[in-house]
Amino acid sequence: MALNAPIQIDGRDWTLFKDYDKPNYIYLSLHGKIDYLEKRVQLILIDPLEEIKQRSLTKNTNEYYWLCLVIMVCCGIEATGAYLVGRDRKSIKKKGENFRAFKSFINKYMPIYKPCLDDLWKYFRNGLAHGFCIVKGGIELGLPNPVQRDANIGVQINADEFFDNFKKGFFNCIKDLRTQSPNSKVIKKFEKTWSWVFLT
């Protein structure tokens, strides 16, 4: 279901854009912050990617749409993982922190991709983000599995299932956050990242 702003959270209207909403973040409860993150990611990432996916499937568009979808999903994996590991201004400068966030989300919420985690990071995420191409491996549609390894090509992922698995994982992550005690390590990491992202 597509969202339209403004969104009601904790009795207030929110645009889901930081520059407009920042003065009012102090009014969000813990569950309000979780709701805000959920709705924001749905509005700016999941809904647009769902539209790209549906257009690509129905119009049989070329693979360039799928490349866009894959790199955006990789960004979503890494960004959501940041809330799992706890980030702030100091930790972001440490070598390997981005991979740690990416790995954390894959391991917990997209475990089918664990065997090819390093390839996804090195050849897909980094290849597309830093060189506009998948260095080794590829994306396909209609593979018998969401991910498979080919001895010659490398890792191949089914692009639409990659997105579907991220979407499912993201909403499961949100569900898990809602069930945590406010004093849990998970929530402390979430709050740390929330403060770094939205309050600085």
Q: Do residues 170 and 109 lie in contact, with contact meaning Cβ atoms separated by under 8 Å? A: yes
Which pLDDT score is estimated for 3?
A: 67
pLDDT at 57: 74
Contact 96, 157 (CB under 8 A): no
Instruction: Give 125's contacts (C-beta < 8 A, 6+ positions apart).
Output: 71, 74, 75, 77, 78, 102
Cα 26 to Cα 6, 22, 29, 64, 169, distances in angstroms: 18, 8, 8, 41, 28
- Dihedral sign for Cα atoms in the order 26, 27, 33, 39: negative
Contact 83, 189 (CB under 8 A): yes
* Pairwise CA distance, residues 122 & 134, whole Å: 9
**Interatomic CA distance for residues 2 and 46, integer angstroms:** 9
Per DSSP, which regions of 49-105 are E strands? none
Tens of each residue's pLDDT in the chain, 200 residues: 566 768 999 999 999 999 999 999 999 999 999 999 999 999 999 999 998 888 877 776 666 788 889 999 999 999 999 999 998 888 777 888 999 999 999 999 999 999 999 999 999 999 999 999 999 999 988 888 999 998 999 999 999 899 999 999 999 999 999 999 999 999 999 999 999 999 98
Distance (Å, rounded) from C-alpha 200 to C-alpha 194?
10
For residues 191 and 185, give the distance between their C-alpha atoms in angstroms, rounded to a whole number.
Answer: 10
Q: What is the pLDDT of residues 2-16, one digit of tens each?
A: 667 689 999 999 999
Number of C-beta neighbours around residue 109 at 10 A: 21
Evaluate whether 196 touches 87 at the Cβ level (below 8 Å): yes
pLDDT for the residue numbered 60:
64
Tokens of 158: 């089914």
- Looking at the DSSP bridge assignments, the partners of residue 57 are none
**What's the first-to-final CA gap in the chain, in angstroms?**
31
